[in-house]
Amino acid sequence: MGIFGKPKLATLLGRPLRCLVCGGREFWSREVKLNSTGAEFLGLSWANQSAVGLICDACGYVHEFAGPRPELWKPERGYPGGAE
């Protein structure tokens, strides 16, 4: 998955995001289309457009976000505001 440069650090609601599986800090992002069945299952009919998927660079686990968008940051510059 090296087509679009480098994986990025991510924060959600101002908090650094770590991979749920391996604890990795760098992710690739992609848009994910939600189908209506999935949105209704999650009680998120308002979110029946798209979500953001963050794919762990280390293990490949896909984290999906249908609410607030995660923010992405360049790894070499670190998290904003000194978050860790």
Q: Rounded to whole angstroms, how far apart are CA atoms 58 and 72? A: 17
Ramachandran assignment for 25, one of left (phi > 0), alpha (psi -120 to 50 degrees), beta (any other) = alpha
Interaction of residue 59 with Zn ion, rule CB under 5 A = yes
Interaction of residue 21 with Zn ion, rule CB under 5 A = yes
- Least distance CB 39 / Zn ion (angstroms): 25
How many residues bind Zn ion, per CB under 5 A? 8
| Element housing 9 (H / E) | strand 8-12
Which of 56, 63, 66, 70 touches Zn ion by CB under 5 A? 56
Site residues (vs Zn ion, CB under 5 A): 19, 21-22, 24, 56, 58-59, 61
